[in-house]
Amino acid sequence: MAHILLAEDDESLRQFLTTNLGRAGHTVTSHGDGDSAWDALQDQSFDLLLTDIVMPGLDGIELARRAAERDPAMKIMFITGFAAVALSQASQAPKDAKVLSKPFHLKDLVAEVERMMAA
């Protein structure tokens, strides 16, 4: 299964995702802002970055851009209520990043993570 870095500023959603992705067999390291998630990327390697876009400090797009530069093999998925921002050419989001719009169903997220890791 995957080692996932989760960056989500909504504490209840972050805890929910951490618990349920763990139940699905993944190892999840979670952070409430982009800055601490970026720090974690300096110390560990991850298979997948799962990030919100709008967060305090470093936003999800910049976090994803830096993560892709640091580890081009890492897969990236945005979980956001701002899908149009993530898909915009001006955002400079990594081209291969997936976007899952909030609200989403847990089974859809788990299925998308499985698809990404199998690719």
Angle at 64 between CA 6 and CA 118, to 5 degrees: 65
Q: Which pLDDT score is estimated for 91?
A: 58
Per DSSP, the chain holds a count of helices (H) and strands (E) of 5, 5
Specify the CATH number for the domain of residue 27: 3.40.50.2300
Per the structure, the complete domain to which residue 98 belongs is given by 3-118
Strand order in the sheet with 3-7: 27-31, 3-7, 48-51, 75-80, 98-101
Domain tally, the chain: 1
Write out pLDDT tens, residues 62-91: 999 999 999 999 999 999 876 655 555 555
Q: Which pLDDT score is estimated for 97?
A: 84
Q: Which pLDDT score is estimated for 102?
A: 86
Query: How many C-alpha atoms does 3 have within 13 Å on its Cβ side?
Result: 8
Q: Which pLDDT score is estimated for 65?
A: 93
Weakly modelled stretches of the chain, pLDDT under 50: none
